[in-house]
């Protein structure tokens, strides 16, 4: 069947899987004005809290996954990786090339998604959990017959919950190790910074607030200042001052090597799971 362009001004978006990631994406799309909630749907079988979550911002909750596919031009599979095959095979007769298919299931490769669906108009996206606060770092890779216009549409959708890049799928394991797992490394760093503040005499609430805001501010500078992170670090570290004393301790403990090893280990585990 011929690939039919998705009607950009009127298309409908459906989520197969109504978990936190689907909710975050749908909320971002609505909040950014990319789509009204009336053009978004999902299906919830028995979990009332998930139904309530989507209905709280007026997204339609349908009876089953088949109804979602039937009512949607763009179908996002946001299910757990271990059930992706069964879900896609069940819906396969409905997954024609008139529909643009998207997967955010971690570790599930395009070649498998396309084979299960019998449709290579597929785009794989790797978002991360900060999508919940509109600050996702997402990467996408286009399948066989996904068009440039399809890519632009998905970039706009996921751009509503953060930033999105396009990359070859062969890089996705490394991307998983960095941006997929990376938020956990940063949460650990925030907790450790706050503990350090408490050890130095700060009240716990103040220490945690300062640690969180410091990481947020530093990340914003790294993203927007147009300087290499090493230069930004040098700008803070005065000769013989407090910051360089702290950096010295981090270097003695192998701080940078530890973070590098964490990314590589997570990437390796991603390849094993795939």
**CATH number of the domain residue 46 falls in:** 3.40.50.720
Q: What's the rounded Cα separation, in Å, for the pair 169 and 117? A: 18
Could you tell me if 191 and 213 lie in one domain? Answer: yes
The band of 88, judged by pLDDT with boundaries at 50, 70 and 90, is very high
211 is in an annotated binding site: no
Could you tell me if 93 and 187 lie in one domain? Answer: no
Could you tell me if 163 and 224 lie in one domain? Answer: no
Q: Could you read off the pLDDT of 44-83 as tens digits, one per residue? A: 988 999 999 999 999 999 989 999 999 999 999 999 999 9
Asked if residue 90 lies in contact with residue 65, where contact means CB atoms within 8 angstroms, the answer is yes
Boundary (domain end) residue, out of 121, 139, 172: 172
- Strand ranges across the sheet with 60-62: 60-62, 40-43, 13-16, 74-77, 100-103, 122-126, 136-142, 162-166
21 is in an annotated binding site: yes
Q: How far, rounded to the nearest angstrom, does the alpha carbon of residue 199 sit from its chain's CA centroid?
A: 34
Could you tell me if 96 and 196 lie in one domain? Answer: no
Q: Could you read off the pLDDT of 152-199 as tens digits, one per residue? A: 999 999 999 999 999 999 999 999 999 999 999 999 999 999 999 999
Question: Is the pLDDT confidence value at 104 over 90?
Answer: yes
Instruction: Look up the domain containing 246 and give its range.
Output: 181-273
217 is in an annotated binding site: no
20 is in an annotated binding site: yes
Rounded to the nearest integer, the mean pLDDT of the chain is 96
The band of 131, judged by pLDDT with boundaries at 50, 70 and 90, is very high
227 is in an annotated binding site: no
Q: Could you read off the pLDDT of 192-232 as tens digits, one per residue? A: 999 999 999 999 999 999 999 999 999 999 999 999 999 99
Could you tell me if 213 and 164 lie in one domain? Answer: no
Tell me what pLDDT residue 26 has: 96
């Amino acid at each position: 069947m011929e690939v039919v362009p998705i009607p950009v001004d009127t298309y409908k978006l459906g989520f197969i899987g109504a978990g936190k990631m689907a909710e975050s994406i749908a909320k971002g799309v609505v909040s950014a004005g990319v789509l009204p909630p009336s053009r978004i749907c999902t299906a919830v079988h028995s979990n009332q809290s998930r139904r309530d979550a989507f209905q709280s911002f007026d997204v339609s909750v349908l009876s089953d996954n088949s109804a979602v596919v039937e009512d949607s031009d763009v179908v996002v599979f946001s299910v757990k990786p271990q059930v992706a095959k069964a879900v896609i095979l069940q819906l396969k007769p409905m997954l024609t090339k008139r529909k643009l298919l998207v997967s955010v299931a971690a570790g599930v490769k395009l070649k498998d998604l396309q084979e299960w669906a019998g449709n290579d108009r597929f785009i794989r996206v790797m978002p991360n959990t900060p999508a919940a606060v509109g600050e996702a770092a997402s990467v996408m890779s286009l399948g066989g017959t996904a068009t440039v216009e399809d890519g632009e549409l998905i970039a706009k959708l996921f751009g509503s919950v953060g930033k999105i890049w396009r990359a070859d799928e062969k890089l996705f394991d490394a991307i998983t190790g960095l941006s997929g797992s990376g938020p956990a490394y940063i949460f650990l760093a925030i907790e450790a910074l706050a503990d350090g503040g408490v050890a130095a005499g700060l009240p716990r609430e103040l220490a945690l607030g300062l640690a969180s805001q410091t990481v947020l501010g530093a990340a914003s500078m790294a993203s927007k200042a147009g300087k290499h992170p090493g230069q930004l670090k040098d700008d803070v570290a005065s000769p013989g001052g407090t910051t360089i004393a702290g950096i010295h301790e981090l270097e003695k403990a192998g701080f940078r090597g530890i973070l590098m090893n964490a990314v590589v280990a997570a990437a390796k585990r991603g390849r094993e799971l795939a």
